[in-house]
A and B are shown apart, each in its own frame.
Chain A
Amino acid sequence: MAKKKAVKKSDAKATEEKMVTVFIMGKGYKVPAEATIMGAIEYAGYLLKRGAGCREGFCGACATVYRMPGDYKIYTGLACTTRVEEGMWLAQLPASPAHKAIYDIKKIKPEVATIQELYPEVFRCVACNSCSKACPQDLEVMDYIQEAKRGNIAAVMDLSFDCVMCGLCAIRCPAEIVQYNVGLLCKRLYGRYLAPESKELTKRIKEVKSKKFDKEFKELMTAKKSDLEKQYYDRDLES
Chain B
Amino acid sequence: MYPDYMTESLKKVVASRNKRFELAKSGKPVYPPMDADEREDVLNKFHPDFKKESRKKIRIGPNKGELLTTEVTEMLESHSRIKPELFDLSNPDYETDILIIGGGGAGCAAAIVAMQHGAKSIISTKLRMGDANSMMSQGGMQAAVKPQDSPTRHYLDAMGGGHFDNKPALVRALTEDGPNVVKWLEELGMIWDKDEEGSLQAMHGGGTSRKRMLSSRDYTGAIIMRTLMDEVRNNPDKITTLEFTPTVELIMDARGRAAGGILYNIETEEYFTVKAKATINATGGYGRLHIRGFDTTNHYGATGDGLVMSYRAGAKLMYMDSVQYHPTGSVFPEQIAGFLITEAIRGAGGQPLNKFGELFVFPREPRDVESAAIIRECVEADNGIATPSGRLGVWLDSPLIDMLQGDGYINRHFPAMHRQFIRYGIDIKEEPMLIYPSLHYQNGGVEINDKCESNIPGLYVAGEASGGVHGRNRLMGNSVLDYNVFGRRAGTYATEYAKKVKLGKLNIEHVNAYEEELKKARIKTDLIAPVLLPSYTPESVRKRQLTAHYEGTLR
A interface residues, Cβ below 8 angstroms from B? 1-11, 13-14, 34-36, 39, 42-45, 47-50, 52-59, 61, 81-83, 100, 102-105, 137-138, 157, 161-162, 164-165, 184, 187-192, 195-201, 204-205, 208, 213, 216-217, 220-221, 225, 228-229, 231-233, 235-239
B272 beta carbon closer than 8 Å to chain A: no
Contact status A8-B191, CB under 8 Å:
no
Q: Which residue of B lies closest to A105 (CB)?
A: B189
B553 beta carbon closer than 8 Å to chain A: no
A220 to B75 CA separation, bound complex (whole angstroms): 37
The winner among B36, B131, B538 for most chain A CB atoms within 10 A is B538
Contact status A2-B534, CB under 8 Å:
yes
A81 to B423 CA separation, bound complex (whole angstroms): 8
Contact status B128-A53, CB under 8 Å:
yes
Report the interface size for chain B: residues with CB under 8 A from the other chain. Answer: 103
Given contacts A11-B538, A161-B219, A221-B172, contact A104 B189 (CB under 8 A): no
B155 beta carbon closer than 8 Å to chain A: yes
A236 contacts which of B151, B209, B541 (Cβ < 8 Å)?
B209
A204 contacts which of B35, B144, B209, B266 (Cβ < 8 Å)?
B144
Contact status B198-A195, CB under 8 Å:
yes
A190 to B216 CA separation, bound complex (whole angstroms): 13
Q: Which residues of B contact A232 (CB under 8 A)?
A: 156-157, 159-160, 164
Q: List 25 A-B contacts (CB under 8 A).
A: A3-B293, A6-B290, A34-B333, A45-B538, A47-B537, A49-B533, A56-B136, A56-B299, A56-B420, A57-B416, A58-B219, A82-B423, A105-B231, A161-B223, A187-B226, A188-B227, A190-B189, A204-B179, A205-B183, A208-B180, A217-B176, A220-B152, A220-B156, A221-B168, A232-B156
B480 beta carbon closer than 8 Å to chain A: no
A137 to B27 CA separation, bound complex (whole angstroms): 37
CB distance from A225 to the nearest CB of B (A): 5
Contact status A157-B168, CB under 8 Å:
no
Q: Which residues of B contact A45 (CB under 8 A)?
A: 537-538, 541, 545
B510 beta carbon closer than 8 Å to chain A: no
Q: Which residues of B contact A10 (CB under 8 A)?
A: 538
A231 to B159 CA separation, bound complex (whole angstroms): 11
Given contacts A191-B189, A204-B144, contact A6 B230 (CB under 8 A): no
B233 beta carbon closer than 8 Å to chain A: yes
Number of inter-chain CB pairs below 8 Å? 260
A38 to B198 CA separation, bound complex (whole angstroms): 41
B437 beta carbon closer than 8 Å to chain A: no
Q: Which residues of A contact B190 (CB under 8 A)?
A: 191
Contact status A105-B234, CB under 8 Å:
yes
Q: Which residues of B contact A239 (CB under 8 A)?
A: 27
B90 beta carbon closer than 8 Å to chain A: no
B186 contacts which of A53, A56, A195 (Cβ < 8 Å)?
A195
A99 to B511 CA separation, bound complex (whole angstroms): 42
Q: Which residues of B contact A208 (CB under 8 A)?
A: 151, 176, 179-180
Q: Which residues of B contact A56 (CB under 8 A)?
A: 136, 297, 299, 336, 339-340, 420
A192 contacts which of B71, B186, B211, B555 (Cβ < 8 Å)?
B186
B335 beta carbon closer than 8 Å to chain A: yes
Contact status A187-B223, CB under 8 Å:
yes
A162 contacts which of B135, B145, B219 (Cβ < 8 Å)?
B219
Contact status B299-A192, CB under 8 Å:
no
Q: Which residues of A contact B545 (CB under 8 A)?
A: 45
Contact status A228-B219, CB under 8 Å:
no
> Which residues of B from 507 to 543 have beta carbons under 8 Å from A?
527, 531, 533-541
B182 beta carbon closer than 8 Å to chain A: yes
Given contacts A7-B536, A196-B197, A238-B209, contact A228 B159 (CB under 8 A): yes
CB distance from B552 to the nearest CB of A (A): 15
Q: Mark contacts of B217-245 with chain A using CB atoms, 8 A cut-off: 1 yes-contact digit, 0 otherwise.
A: 10101110011001101101000000010
B59 beta carbon closer than 8 Å to chain A: no
Q: Which residues of B contact A191 (CB under 8 A)?
A: 186, 188-192, 227
Contact status B234-A104, CB under 8 Å:
yes
Contact status B219-A213, CB under 8 Å:
no
A239 to B445 CA separation, bound complex (whole angstroms): 34
A54 to B148 CA separation, bound complex (whole angstroms): 36
Q: Which residues of A contact B136 (CB under 8 A)?
A: 54, 56, 58-59
Given contacts A3-B293, A3-B536, A239-B27, contact A201 B183 (CB under 8 A): yes
Contact status A198-B199, CB under 8 Å:
yes
Given contacts A42-B536, A238-B209, contact A192 B189 (CB under 8 A): yes
A105 to B230 CA separation, bound complex (whole angstroms): 10
CB distance from B357 to the nearest CB of A (A): 24
B20 beta carbon closer than 8 Å to chain A: no
Q: Which residues of B contact A221 (CB under 8 A)?
A: 168-169, 172
